[in-house]
Structures are given as structure tokens and as C-alpha cells.
Amino acid sequence: MTQAVPHLVNRLVIDTDDSFDDVRRRYESLVPAIDFAELVEVIATGDLARVQAYTADRTPHSFAVFWTLDPMPVMRLSGHQHRAVTYMMGNNVIAETMFRHDPGIILYAPLRTAIYETASGRVQFSIDQPSSKFASFGDPRIAEVGAQLDAEVAELLHLMTLPVPPELITA
């Protein structure tokens, strides 16, 4: 059986008044890259409490970067000069709280973020609103975690001194 699940996702595009390098530096200082090989070693111990502690130690603001792509070397080959970088940002412990209800959430966890320069030279930070993606699973337990992720993303934006879109602010 195949199933199509139509759903609306809010892509949040946040204008900044800062340089690309400044936004990137603030983001990477608040969302550190996780040493994936080291994480795999910790997971291999089979000690869930140790994995949770390892994750907590490396996610000072709820999130870590699991993967980074700088597309600029190939984009420059075609003459593009505006910079861009994208990240897979998440928290494996938080993801598990949704995965237990539906493994399909792994399609959206970790979250994807981007920092880029626009054609007009502005710098933007972009992320799909977590709750608008996770609500598509039709499970209130998953939707609740999606809403919690909205709050965590709002806090991250606040720490980055970027505007917090009203969609992320819970009532």
C-alpha cells in the first residue's frame, strides 16, 4: 500500500542585519558539531544513560550539528558568488521521543537549517517550522514534541540575536 500525506510546512525565513560570517559564527557557537564517530562509539556501549548524558553534554542549547554542507565550491564553478551553508541540526534523545511512536519521523529529524546570502546581498537564516512538519504524522504525542522543538528553535534564534517569528511563539 502507498499513501500520500499532504501537509503544509511553514518555511521560516529570517532576515538578519549581520554578515554571513557573523551569523554563521553565532550559529556554530550555539549549535556545536557533534563528533559522529565518537557518538557511534558511545552508542556501541549499549548504555542508553551514557548516550543520553553524552548528548546532553554536547547540546548546550538543545541541538547539535550532525552534518554540514558548504555547496559553494561547486556553485562557484557555475559563477555563483553568494554564500550558503546548510546543516542537519538535532538531538537524538529528543528524536527518540517521537520515533517510539512512528519511525517515519526520521524523515524530518534532524532538522535542516540554512544560512545564505540573497541576490540583494542580505543574509537570511532559514528553517522549516518543526511543528508544521511533525504534525503531519497525526499523532498528538509527536505533535507535542514538534511544538517543544518550536520553542527550542525560538530560544536558539533569541540567543543568536535574530528575530523570532510569531509562528514559533507558543500561546
Q: Please state the rounded mean pLDDT for residues 39-47.
A: 96
pLDDT bracket for residue 131 (50, 70, 90)? very high
pLDDT, position 171: 47
Residue from 78, 66, 102, 91 nearest 156 by CA: 91
**What pTM value is reported for the model?**
0.94
pLDDT, position 18: 96
Q: What would the pLDDT profile of 48-100 be if each residue is shown by its tens digit?
A: 999 999 999 999 999 999 999 999 999 999 999 999 999 999 999 999 999 99
Task: Please check the confidence at residue 169 and state whether its pLDDT lies above 60.
Answer: yes
Place of cell 557511534: 40
User: CA 119 to CA 139: how far, in whole Å?
Assistant: 40
**In 125-149, which positions are buried (b, 16+ CB within 10 angstroms) versus exposed (e)?**
bebbbbbbbbbbbebeebbebbbbb
Residue from 32, 104, 106, 36 nearest 64 by CA: 32
What 3-state class would DSSP assign to 35? coil
pLDDT, position 25: 98
User: CA 7 to CA 43: how far, in whole Å?
Assistant: 34
User: CA 102 to CA 3: how far, in whole Å?
Assistant: 15
Q: What would the pLDDT profile of 143-152 be if each residue is shown by its tens digit?
A: 999 999 999 9
Task: Please check the confidence at residue 10 and state whether its pLDDT lies above 90.
Answer: yes
Q: What percentage of the chain carries pLDDT values higher than 90? A: 96
pLDDT, position 47: 97
pLDDT, position 2: 93
pLDDT, position 170: 72
Q: Please state the rounded mean pLDDT for residues 132-155.
A: 97
